[in-house]
Structure 1
Amino acid sequence: MELRIFTEPQQGASYDQLLAVARCAEDGGYGAFFRSDHYLNMGDGDGRPGPTDAWTTLAGLARETRQIRLGTLMTAATFRLPGPLAITVAQIDAMSGGRVELGIGTGWFEAEHAAYGIPFPPLGERFDRLEEQLAIITGLWETPAGQTFDHIGRYYTLTGSPALPKPVQQPRPPVLIGGHGARRTPALAARYADEFNLPFAGLDDTAAQFDRVRAAAAAIGREPESMILSNALVLCCGRTEAEVKRRADAIGREPQELRANGLAGSPAEIVDKIGRYAAFGASRIYLQVLDLTDLDHLDLVAAEVASQL
């Protein structure tokens, strides 16, 4: 079981804060630092100092970290054209020495699109665009050097692309697809994903969705075991109940609600719950850290949770 750190900087975080978290995660032995790709805060607060672009952030971290892997949960396909996104990710892969992973989804938060003038098509079209983007991005990366790439689709057409630059990781950086959709999401994961991630789901929903993903893979002749399965869950760990309560208060949540819907409680409680997700096939957990100023939280989990997995 690998633990990764997952942040939500649209809620209010500077690049320097994210760098501090990424370096703390690296020093603590976590497998990766991931961040969301959003341009507007959600819920209470005003999001100050304001959003930071996901791939600009990861480019900076690529040069200011040494070995931790870097990625997105999830880049919105509505935000970027697939050709330029393939270039960006390949460049950051080179900048990091081959440590980048691309999580990509349809995009879902309509308010941020309205706030920054980004078109927000209906859900069916967003899935269609995502499918084309996946074909283009992976196609560009996997085109042999010296050959060109063409794509004629409903939404995107590429003609005679040199398919450059090539990423350091070959044949390409890992691709993550995730979500709760029962039909198209598993099908896209089976075709394109190295990892399927299910965010903020309980044990029963995890079991059902992982089974759908495995079935979709088997239906196209892919070995289900060739895909990594993972969960993303909010973290709230404490050595004492008072410490758990303090950390829950800091993010505006209740300990018992977090115990039910996330990873909350003592290190022993969290180890036990991670084990229950592992029983359904999860081999990675993305720990959603919402208080980015509390680096002791990461140190505690590294020392007393990760060591037991």
Structure 2
Amino acid sequence: MSSVARKSRCPLLVLLSLSVELFAILAARDTPQQRLEHDELHHRRSSRLVEDEGGCDLCEDNWLFILSGGGRTGSTTALSMFNSVPGFELSGEHYGLLKEMEKLFQDVKLTTGQMSRGVVAFAGNRVDEDYIACSVQHLTKRIILGAQYDTLIHSAKVIGFKEIRYGSLDMLRFLHRIFPCARYIFSYRDETDAPVRTAAFDQKKLLDRWEQASGLFHRVHAKLNSTTSLLALEQLSVEHYNRVLRDKLGVQGCEFSAVVHDNADGGFRPDQSVSSPLSGECDLSAVSFRLSPGEVTAAAAALQDLERENNATAAPM
């Protein structure tokens, strides 16, 4: 199938059609161990990143995600900083809509599992999980680039978003499945008991989210050091941002000369004191987030290890 023919498909319609059927399924959920075994089987298949007909290259684009566990962690500042780099197209929050896609994807996996076990009520052709992954990725790209898609798709070197609603291991595993070569910037609070200077958040709930996300981000970073970066609100500096820009994202020839402070003092306003935090001429010619199949498989295994550790900790004595 030609690339033009592939692009003519409508991933959104595919997703909506599937969701109508799959959200009606009331089958019992697999246990965490069965989920892990299913994922291990998938990653042991051919470990290919370029899919067959109907699929896509899941690592063709350079995806960058700025994630935070709750608000007021400096994630909007990080968004503004990295969006100032020519060729970076990063969008703001989208109310965690990919959580619905994660639910859809889990139902696809459950359906496939029931088929493989020969459950007659689920008889039919096996659902292609890789095609669903390609559809979710394309839909995400459409949301980020919006009405300027046809123009920006040719100029964007790095694409992504910032979101405060994906600070969970389940969502990180889902994002890795859909965007296996993505880079992550974890925006968090070192001081998880700091007072909240805005009425937009429930203080107790937000402090709990800070603490949970901080612990998770540090554990993930320890296992996936080459593809993740930690940005603590209390330690933000030009040097820190430049290390991420140069060492993790591969941008050369330019550097940050100032740190913007969007949403400062408990507000929701951009920092007007800095016209541009960037200086120099950015060279993105060497920017490539592509990983080898072995690296992708190793990262998936590391996230599975974290889930096992969580399950072991949560298991009753």
Instruction: State the TM-score, normalized to the length of structure 1.
Output: 0.31
Larger Rg: 2
> Larger RCO: Structure 1 or Structure 2 (Cα < 8 Å, ≥ 6 residues apart)?
2
Instruction: State the TM-score, normalized to the length of structure 2.
Output: 0.30
Write 1 or 2 for the structure with the bigger share of helix: 2
Write 1 or 2 for the structure with the bigger share of strand: 1
